[in-house]
Structures are given as structure tokens and as C-alpha cells.
Amino acid sequence: MDDVRDSAAALTPSKSSNIFLQIVEHLDGTISRPFVPTTSASASSKDVPLNPAHNTWLRLYLPHEGDAAEEEEKEEEKLLPIILYFHGGGFVLFGADSAIYDSPCAAMAASVPALVVSLHYRLAPEHRLPAAYDDALDALLWLRSQPTAAAAPEPWIARRGDFSRCFVMGSSSGANMAYHAALRFAADDSETLTLRGLVLNQPYFGGAERTASEAASEDDFMLPLRANDMLWRLSLPPGADRDHEFCNPLAAPRPPALRKLPRCFVKGCKGDPLIDRQREFAQFLEGEGVEVVANLDDEGFHAIELFVPAKAEALFAEIREFIYGDAALATVGGGGVVESEAS
């Protein structure tokens, strides 16, 4: 664990410079956010509108430069699985154009390979939950509409996307979004868009009673306890406690659509303050009959793949195996947890 932390020391913040702790809360309930570098779309990415009323949009990524990719042959085997991606940031920070997420999305598209669709969604506290879930569902419904779009469908999606292999992925709070959006989508059967799996990378959940890993995280340099508490305070509906269903699905009534979820890959690291929650969540899904692939024993810290290139490549390899059906990550019939080789 020390080696992993040391390898990222030049890139990752100390607790004293933690970006979440730079958020300033004001007495009127508003906040001031720290500066976050952004980047424009490139030759291998493009931005398309989603819901102008909510200022939401999507950044699409192809494995290669867009102009060249559009000239490739369009045979069935050339179609790419689609990964709808939700970024992290505790529901409060970042966007699809944030440099810290733009580069990994481009790298993931090339490495898997896949057509990655990253959602720029509304943030709390200006738009508390479930606003982000509403935006996530909008993105899923947008994908579903593409094959039969009244207007011309988005050409990258139409030419390169395989609608029989659509995956929803999120990191941290984005993984929380992926879970809740998939529940909503599962309640509405669709023959146009088949959800083949969820990729839940270090999912962000909580609860009224602290777990051991949360209680020990006061000095964590990526997700210190004070930041964790603040992010939930800013994002949950007014008056909600940490056992609200948005935060703690284990404490909520089981939604009927839960057993309709596709297979799930749940990824965690032992140094993450959220690891206890992630292990409980994987077992929760298993107990509800969901097929689960789990790797929850890697060394590392929260959001490590954003700072350590080797960890990003390892994550992409696991996603590739999950999507393309490698035997090491194949699930079994019925509910169950399958440990990946990486664990």
C-alpha cells in the first residue's frame, strides 16, 4: 500500500490541499467551488446536446480519430460496445469536460475498445439528488431513442455503436448514479437498447452509522471524513439523513426492479474509506439474485485510476474482460459473486 501511495505522491493531493476541502459553504446554502481545469473535445471525441433546459450534454469518444473511424467498414464485427459513463465528484464537483475525467475516458475508449458516452450532468447543491439520476436516465433514454430517432441519429452512435451491448459505468458518485439509473431503466423493458452490465467502480454509498473504514478515514488524503460528510450534506434532499435510499440502498425497501438488473462488476480498493460499504453492497446485490463480479481486494486509494496510469490500465483490462466475456470474469447462473483474477 505504501508503494502505491508513493507512486502517486507527485500527482495526488495531501489532505491539506484536498480539492473537496476547498469547497466553501456559504450561510445562504450556496457554495463556491475550486477551479477545475477543463478541456475541449478532440478529433476522437465530440459533444452533443442532451437536455438544453437542464444544460446537460454528452461527450462521445471513439477509439480512433473520428474522421478516420467514420471511414472504416461498417460490418457487424466492427461495431463497438457502448459504455455510458458517469463521472465522480461527490455529486458536487467536475463535469464531462473536466480534464481529470476527459483523458481517462479517451484512454478507456481506446483500451477496451468501446464507444464511450460521458454525461455532463447537474450538480448539487444547486440541483440536489435525484437531479443527477434524472439526467442519467435521460442519457439512457437518449441512447434508446437513437435507432428510431425521428431526426437523424447521432452518426457516431449509428455507425459504430452496438445497441445489443450497452453497459452503464460510473466511478465513485457516478457508480451510485449508474446503480440508481439502471434501476429506473430496468423497470421499463426495452427491445431497442439491451443493458448487458453495470461497471461500478468504487461506488459511493454511505449510511447513518459509520463503518470501520469510514471511521478511520479522518486523515485520508483523497476522501477525508469531513469531505465525505460535507458531500452528502450538500447532495441529499433537504432533511434526508444518511440512511436515505440515495445514500444507503441497504437500509431502504427493496425496489421491484432490483432483480432485473444485469450482471454487475463491483470494483474497490482496500485503502478506500468506502471499501466496507462496497463489500456490503456487493453482498447485498448477490443476496437479491443479481449476478456479481467483484474485485474488492486491490491495493490502492479512492479514485486511484485517475492518478496512477498502471492502475488505470489494470481497470481497463478488467472492464475489457467483463465486456468481451473473458472466462476469468464470466458470471454464473443465478445470483453469486465471482472473484476476478485481479483480486
Residue type, 106: A
Sheet of strand 291-298, all strands in order from the earlier edge strand to the far edge = 45-51, 56-61, 115-120, 80-86, 161-171, 195-201, 264-269, 291-298, 336-339
- Tell me whether residue 6 is one of the annotated catalytic residues: no
The SS3 assignment for 215 reads helix
Give dist(CA 202, CA 136) in Å, integer.
18
Give dist(CA 343, CA 323) in Å, integer.
18
Q: Are the beta carbons of 168 and 84 closer than 8 angstroms?
A: yes
- Tell me whether residue 302 is one of the annotated catalytic residues: yes
Cα atoms in the Cβ-side hemisphere of radius 13 Å centred on 24:
5
Say which of 98, 171, 172, 213 is annotated catalytic: 172
Say which of 97, 138, 220, 272 is annotated catalytic: 272
Burial class of residue 71, CB neighbours in 10 A (0-12, 13-18, 19+):
exposed
CA 294 to chain CA mean position, Å:
15
- Tell me whether residue 272 is one of the annotated catalytic residues: yes
Kindly report the three-state secondary structure assignment for every residue of 283-315.
Answer: HHHHHCCCEEEEEEEECCCCCHHHCCHHHHHHH
Say which of 118, 244, 302, 340 is annotated catalytic: 302
In eight-state DSSP terms, residue 152 is: P
Q: Which of 238, 230, 257, 235 is nearest to 247 (CA)?
A: 235
C-alpha cell at 199: 461497471
Active site residues: 172, 272, 302
